[in-house]
Amino acid sequence: MLIDTHAHLQDEEMLSDLVGVLDRAEEAGVDTVVCIGYDLPSSKKAVEIARQHKQVFAVVGVHPHSASELDKNTLEELFKLAKDPEVVAIGEIGLDFFRDLSPRDQQRKAFIEQIKLARELYKPIVIHDRDAHQEVLDTIKAEKAGINGGIMHCYSGHLPLAVELMKANFYISFAGPLTYKNAGKTREVAAKIPFDRILVETDCPYLTPEPLRGRRNEPANVYHVASRLAELRSKSIEETGYITSRNARTAFHLPD
């Protein structure tokens, strides 16, 4: 069995076919899906979906693209929402210096405020990091962000950074790009880091893996990410599924 550790089931095109999406996931051997928020409305929807579907858990938070929306009231709402038993982490939070959809100072402030929220609630964090590797690492260290564990979502950094992140109590999660031809650096990390720190995800409906690129992504397709990982590690898909699922249950404190 596999766990998709990062999906956006609340996306409109996923919601319109949610029963079918979850049925196809189960048929593909994906028995658990972690639904990730990216602003307050999507976080509320993630919790609603998790309450309705026993195989889904929720993560709540404000993405760096929406950092300018994180005011005192939003933080208070997130705090209340995160107390729901279906909520297993705070995220996705972090820094995005590629698209810069929110001013960088606001991104930094929102990142730190949500790290503090996670610390207060004793929950791990899910980090979005694009073109901000060193600053993300520096913030993690300065704020002791890994005290309750964490997940680096859709990892795109190099091997030395991954080593530093694991020292800070983070898991490294791989998505569809692991299957892309130009992802040599990502495959090197996936092949070399300890297997007990690796997770797999889809980031659906985005980042569809090979050989399905061009189609909408969904949790069932995490099989293709896990299959590529199995090849890189010279393991069977069964063993890869067992190890990455065990890792996910540890990282998110999921029930067996």
- 209 secondary structure, DSSP code: P
Residue 153: name the closest of 10, 31, 38 by CA: 38
Query: ∠251-252-256 over CA atoms, to 5°?
Result: 100
**What pLDDT sits at residue 107?**
98
Question: Rg for the chain (alpha carbons), in Å?
Answer: 17
Domain housing 132: 2-252
Can you tell me which residue has the tokens 């729901």?
84
218 neighbors 24 (Cβ within 8 angstroms): yes
In the chain, how many domains are there?
1
230 neighbors 237 (Cβ within 8 angstroms): yes
For residues 10 and 170, give the distance between their C-alpha atoms in angstroms, rounded to a whole number. Answer: 26
In three-state secondary structure terms, 7 is: strand
For residues 227 and 247, give the distance between their C-alpha atoms in angstroms, rounded to a whole number. Answer: 16
For residues 13 and 235, give the distance between their C-alpha atoms in angstroms, rounded to a whole number. Answer: 34
9 neighbors 43 (Cβ within 8 angstroms): no
The domain spanning residue 9 has which CATH number? 3.20.20.140
For residue 75, give both structure tokens.
Answer: 């933080």
240 neighbors 228 (Cβ within 8 angstroms): no
For residue 218, give both structure tokens.
Answer: 């969904």
Buried b (16+ CB within 10 A) or exposed e, 46-55: bbbbbeebee
Burial label, 19 (beta-carbon count in 10 A; 0-12, 13-18, 19+) = exposed
**What pLDDT sits at residue 256?**
81
For residues 210 and 221, give the distance between their C-alpha atoms in angstroms, rounded to a whole number. Answer: 9
Give me the tens of pLDDT residue by residue for the chain, a chain 256 residues long: 999 999 999 999 899 999 999 999 999 999 999 999 999 999 999 999 999 999 999 999 999 999 999 999 999 999 999 999 999 999 999 999 999 999 999 999 999 999 999 999 999 999 999 999 999 999 999 999 999 999 999 999 999 999 999 999 999 999 999 999 999 999 999 999 999 999 999 999 999 999 999 999 999 999 999 999 999 999 999 999 999 999 999 999 998 8
Contacts of the segment 41-46: beta carbons below 8 A, 24+ positions apart: 42/8, 42/10, 43/78, 43/81, 44/81, 45/10, 45/15, 46/9, 46/10
Going edge to edge, which strands form the sheet with 56-60?
2-7, 30-36, 56-60, 87-96, 125-130, 150-152, 170-174, 198-200
For residues 128 and 208, give the distance between their C-alpha atoms in angstroms, rounded to a whole number. Answer: 18
In three-state secondary structure terms, 206 is: coil
